[in-house]
Amino acid sequence: MLDHFFNKLSGNITLTDADKAVFSQHVIVKKLRKRQYLLQDGEICKYVAFVSKGMLRSYLVDKKNNEHIIQFAPEGWFISDLNSFISEDYSNLNIDAIESSELVLVSRAAHIHLEQAVPEFFKFNYMQYRGAYISLQKRINDMFTLSTEEKYTKLLNIYPDIMQRVPQHMIASYLGLTPETLSRVRKKLSVKKP
Amino acid sequence: MLDHFFNKLSGNITLTDADKAVFSQHVIVKKLRKRQYLLQDGEICKYVAFVSKGMLRSYLVDKKNNEHIIQFAPEGWFISDLNSFISEDYSNLNIDAIESSELVLVSRAAHIHLEQAVPEFFKFNYMQYRGAYISLQKRINDMFTLSTEEKYTKLLNIYPDIMQRVPQHMIASYLGLTPETLSRVRKKLSVKKP
DNA sequence: ATTATTTCTTGATTCACATCAATGAATTGG
DNA sequence: CCAATTCATTGATGTGAATCAAGAAATAAT
């Protein structure tokens, strides 16, 4: 059940069997069906979730009731509202399953415990945070410098796998566009390229 | 010379005098005058800079030669292109001084050394990265959900100090607006509020 | 001081994208 | 398998911000 989770960790750190046993005792395996929430706006985020199967998304809802997708998390990715998770503030994010999914959940208490009990996990998180920061930095760079068309094609190139599994209006939402606009961008590209 | 730097670190971790001595041997103190670059597009980012006096900014230049400010860093802040610093890739960022400034520079080699020699520094960076990630997350949230007017007033509320020291067209640049648009937003607000 | 440079404001016009509206295609669920 | 949602496309219209242009105000330099 935890194989994918341990594989992920092993990509960056080395875990002993004893370490794995400690993890097993402190994490929770959970299934989510399509559309089911992991976190809902107004709650405190209780978990960092590792996706071992399926796909989740996190998104905001603005005053006009438009959804803005912040992150897609297919198998092998983590998803959470880290701010809410760490500071125990109310979240303004929603996290739900785009496909029926399987998760490994780490609660706040478990997270703290595991970082102490397994120093390598602390190191892993160090790298995760650093990497996540760099990724967001790049996303902001793209938001500022790329045209709508370029943003879309770049997304297709970097995450072709994800883009194929996700409905188009969610891609639009991730890019900060309306579905109509994305549809028009795609049409324009299809005339250009092939 | 390093007082501000040590104060900053001491906000989150505890440093012994021995630790401080190690730092002193591995960091570089540098002055920058107004407009002087710390990092220029196309170079590899060699340092993480702590600003002990003055203010720096990082910014991108897009194809149309428009500048987009990513970060302001007044005294007490760090600034760098972390991606370039870590992976030793060419940077597409510029970092320069908005005011004449004093810096404490940590090179890549020093950074690695210091994290090993001073475990508390590793912990400090863990928290820095985590905090930086959360901040960027919030910035993206605001980009998606707030109106231009709201983005501006929020910025004024959170960083009144910085906003007073920085020319208006740079605030516009940070917000992803033209100076003209920001000027009009301000006019509208001045009619509304007072 | 006075010239030069940078910064800010205001107006007229253009443009990219949102919004509104309707229809067709594709999934999903009973 | 068929009804019901969900999803994607297309057209007409509206809007917020960019662009272009010019002048005023403020800072800096000689």
Per-residue pLDDT reduced to its tens digit, A109-152: 999 999 999 999 999 999 999 999 999 999 999 999 999 999 99
Cα nearest neighbour of B124 on chain A: A126
- pLDDT category at A97 given cuts 50, 70, 90 is very high
Per-residue pLDDT reduced to its tens digit, A160-191: 999 999 999 999 999 999 999 999 999 999 87
A60 pLDDT higher than 80:
yes
- Full-model pTM: 0.95
Distance CA A122, CA A111 (A): 9
Q: Is A70 helix (H, G, I), strand (E, B) or coil?
A: strand
Of the candidates B141, B144, B173, B140, which has an alpha carbon nearest to the alpha carbon of residue B72? B173
Say whether the CB atom of B68 is under 7 angstroms from strand C.
no
Provide the b/e sequence for B75-95 (b: ≥16 CB within 10 Å). Answer: beebbbbbbbbbeeeebebbb
**In contact, A9 and A78? CB cutoff 8 Å:** no
**Could you give the angle at the alpha carbon of B20 between the alpha carbons of B17 and B24, nearest 5°?**
140
| Nearest Cβ partner for B68 among A137, A138, A144 | A144
Mutate to test the interface with A, among B66, B67, B83 (most CBs of A within 10 A): B83
Mean pLDDT, residues A90-102: 95
B121 pLDDT higher than 90:
yes
Distance CA B12, CA B71 (A): 22
Q: Tell me the backbone φ, ψ of residue B75, rounded to 5 degrees.
A: -50, 135
Beta strands per DSSP E along B4-110: 27-32, 37-39, 47-53, 55-61, 67-74, 78-79, 93-97, 101-107
